[in-house]
Amino acid sequence: MYLQKRHRILRQSPALRSMVAETILSPNDFILPLFIVEGNSIKVEISSMPDYYRFSLDETVKEVKHLWSLGLKSVLLFIKCKEEFKDNKGTEALNPNGLMQRSIRAIKNAVPEICVMTDVALDPFSTFGHDGIVENNKIVNDATVEVLAAMSVSHAAAGADVVAPSDMMDGRIGSIRKALEDNNFTETGIMSYSAKYASCFYGPFRDALDSAPGFGDKKTYQMDFANSDEAVRETLADIEEGADIVMVKPGLPYLDIVQKLKTIVHVPVSIYQVSGEYAMIKAAAQNGWLQEDKAIIETLTSMKRAGASLIATYFAKQAVEILNK
């Protein structure tokens, strides 16, 4: 058979394949989420996230030193608020000596070079488990935004490099940017969860932080998974309001959104491989139905190929260990 073009030629050896690879994962791509709890010497596995732990701050600091030595550049902090500190307005989120603020200081102190990103949202602090203040069974936008702006300033004051609002209230990026400017935090970045969908894949995360909504769902603020133009509207608005990095969340089921945004926006696009995606791969691997390392690298590479230049993933440490092999 005569063929003018044989596509298999460039796939003949590992050397050739590596030379023509269009997407290469690196430790620089990853953001590792961390769950921090009060106490000392605590390391508790999250039942719906096998091999993933809640750490007390002392253990977190040890872990972050190790992560930095592996080549990871960034962590994203989430804290588990004690039940007695929760209220409707997220008051504890503004406590200058709260667990989040202490964690930021301790981590920046131990590993000053690492990029510390912080979650900005009310749900871990809310008696209702919602990302905003609740009035008459509704999530009120504008009063919530005020708290989110104050929370961001408080994280910046503690030393956060990037604040990451994950709440999906309208106008919060502009208010956060203004609050940072007003308080002279001119070097603090904003990574906006700009296209965050109302997803069932957040289930294990809500176990980790004990933050499941007490009533209703999050569909009046998180987006309908049937939509993609809406992701463009939301993301362009966030950039206009001052976001440095935008995000699509969850990850794998939303690669079309990443690709679409990538052709439209000119800021870095990040993606969040969320807790449910982690749990799916872990569960299949534990049953012997998938090869875990291969599933990790394939899914993360797909995210980068789609256009994500930053990937928040619970597999970040494992991925770096695989890449360093």
> Could you list the active site residues?
196, 249
> Are the C-beta atoms of 118 and 164 separated by less than 8 Å?
yes
Nearer to ligand PBG, 167 or 238 (CB): 167
Minimum Å gap between C-beta 133 and ligand PBG is: 14
**Alpha-carbon radius of gyration of the chain:** 20
Type of residue at 49: M
* Closest to 124 in 3D by CA, of 173, 176, 166: 166
Minimum distance of ligand PBG from residue 191's CB (angstroms) = 12
Q: Is 234 in the site for ligand PBG (CB under 6 A)?
A: no
* Least distance CB 48 / ligand PBG (angstroms): 10
Kindly state whether residue 35 participates in binding ligand PBG, applying the rule CB under 6 A.
no
Q: Does 205 bind ligand PBG (CB under 6 A)?
A: yes
The least CB distance from residue 95 to ligand PBG, in Å, is: 18
Q: Determine the angle formed by the axes of helices 316-324 and 57-70, rounding to 10 degrees.
A: 30
Q: Closest CB to ligand PBG among 110 and 318? A: 318
Stretch that binds ligand PBG, among 40-48, 54-62, 88-96, 118-126 (CB under 6 A): 118-126
Q: 């490099």: which residue's tokens?
A: 161
Burial 244-256 (b: 16+ CB within 10 A, else e): bbbbbbbbbebbe
Q: Quick one: 274 or 316, whose CB is closer to ligand PBG? A: 274
274 binds ligand PBG (CB under 6 A): yes
Under rule CB under 6 A, how many of the chain's residues touch ligand PBG?
12
Q: 136 with 94: CB under 8 angstroms?
A: no
Q: Residue from 29, 59, 63, 119 that binds ligand PBG (CB under 6 A)?
A: 119
By C-beta, is 218 or 304 nearer to ligand PBG? 218
Residue 221 makes contact with ligand PBG by CB under 6 A = no
Q: In terms of CB distance, is 35 or 68 closer to ligand PBG?
A: 35
We find the least distance from the C-beta atom of residue 246 to ligand PBG, in angstroms, to be 15
User: By CB under 6 A, what part of segment 157-186 binds ligand PBG?
Assistant: 166-167
75 contacts 110 by C-beta, under 8 angstroms: no
Residue 198 burial by CB count (10 A; 0-12/13-18/19+): exposed, middle or buried?
middle
Q: Which residues contact 29 (CB under 8 A, 6 or more apart)?
A: 300, 304, 309, 310, 311
Considering beta carbons, is residue 119 or 241 the nearer one to ligand PBG? 119
Q: How far apart are the C-alpha atoms of 143 and 128, rounded to whole Å? A: 16
Q: Which of residues 120-149 bind ligand PBG (CB under 6 A)?
A: 121, 123, 131
Query: Which listed residue (35, 202, 221, 315) binds ligand PBG by CB under 6 A?
Result: 202
CB of 50 to ligand PBG, least distance (A): 14
CA dist., res. 59 & res. 56, Å (int): 5
Cα separation, 78 vs 120, in Å, equals 9
Contact yes or no for 43/55 (Cβ under 8 A): yes
**Could you give the CA distance from residue 107 to residue 100 in angstroms, rounded to a whole number?**
11
Q: Which two tokens stand for residue 41?
A: 């010497």
Footprint of ligand PBG on this chain (CB under 6 A)?
119, 121, 123, 131, 166-167, 202, 205-206, 218, 274-275
